[in-house]
Amino acid sequence: MRSLLTLLLAITAPAAAIVTAVLAQFALQTVWPGVMNISLDGLSVDSYLTVVAMLLLSFLVGVWLRRRGPNRSSQAASFVAPIIWFIAILLTKHPARALSSMETFLLLAGAVAPLVALAAGLRWEGRVGVAV
């Protein structure tokens, strides 16, 4: 029963991190509508903050999953939601106009961020620096 619970948490925790980052963007836009008028290279700042939130939350989920249960099956299962997110972003229909280079970069960063951060969190051993 414990391994089933760990497996269920391994699947749902990364999905919760992705959903939380997206909901944080909507909350930021609701609380401070002017954030969409602040732009860097033609894209609003809230888009950048969403990618950063996904990186941070997915990394923390990876670290938490590593400490919770180091078995390989739950670690492999934790990549289900980020892979589905990656595929969903790449398969969505984009405007007919050509994507600007920064828009393409941010789109790909948002798709890859949960995968990379989760993998880094699962590999991180809690040490900063190199022991001499």
Give residue limits of the domains in the chain: 2-123
CA dihedral of 21, 121, 75, 85, whole degrees rounded to 10: 30
Residues in the chain predicted with pLDDT less than 70, given as ranges, are 1-2, 69-70, 94-100, 126-132
Q: What is the pTM of this model?
A: 0.85
Whole-number pLDDT of residue 83: 95
| Residues contacting 7, CB < 8 A, separation 6+ | 73, 74, 77
Whole-number pLDDT of residue 131: 46
